Amino acid sequence: MTKKIGVLVGSLRKESFNRKMAKVLISLAPKSLDFEIIEIGNLPLYNQDLDDEKRPPAEWTQFRSLVKPCDGLLFVTPEYNRSVPGVLKNAIDVGSRPYGQSVWDGKAGAVISVSPGVIGGFGANHHLRQSFVFLNVPCMQAPEAYIGKAGELFDAKGDITNPDTRKFLQSFIDSFAKWVDKICS
């Protein structure tokens, strides 16, 4: 049975290494996973008053309706100031509310961090995993994926140029498919 996977990319840049990585992972994935990149750049900042007053912005409602039916979630994120980019944190907050109605609850998750730096977004990766504990997103523990030197990874078409990196990414996405099956069974 095909599993629906929501992909959240933590970078809004037009030439984002993270968006390129998301597309590579989607291309390598087994057919048992059906991916949809869920855009987060248009979400107004979370303000609980709007939910309490029963007037959430249409963008929040649409976002929640896209995440809710997903079986799994793949987060592809850069690191900003040793943490998660604000746009991704905002998306997490929007999806976690109103209280008791989180769209994240129980979904199989995985994180891959991509950075031009050599430590590959380690801080962002682990901060995101911390949030998953509260959100009840069972996160794939291994293989961990911290992809550094992102500026050297892609060719002009957005393909991975290094065969060892490509092999690792194949292992990562195959492991994620098994993780989704395990959590969703």
pLDDT for position 55: 97
Tell me the C-alpha distance between 59 and 65, whole Å.
10
Whole-prediction pTM: 0.97
3-state secondary structure of 122: helix
Give yes or no for residue 1 having a pLDDT over 90: no
How many residues comprise the chain?
Answer: 185
DSSP-H helix ranges across the chain? 17-28, 48-52, 58-67, 86-96, 122-135, 163-184
**Which of residues 185 and 101 earns the better pLDDT score?**
101
Query: Could you tell me the pLDDT band of residue 84, with boundaries at 50, 70 and 90?
Result: very high
Does residue 38 contact residue 8 with C-beta atoms inside 8 Å?
yes
Q: Kindly report the number of other CB atoms within 10 A of residue 86's CB atom.
A: 12
Tokens of 177: 């498919």
* Domain ranges, ordered by start, for the chain: 3-184
17-62 pLDDT, tens digit per residue, is: 999 999 999 999 999 999 999 999 999 999 999 999 999 999 999 9
Nearest to 30 by CA among 177, 181, 172, 184: 177
CATH of 3-184, one of 3.30.365.10, 3.40.50.360, 1.10.540.10, 3.90.79.10: 3.40.50.360
State the pLDDT at residue 185.
84
Averaged pLDDT for residues 97-107? 97
Mean pLDDT score across all residues of the chain: 96
pLDDT of residue 129: 96
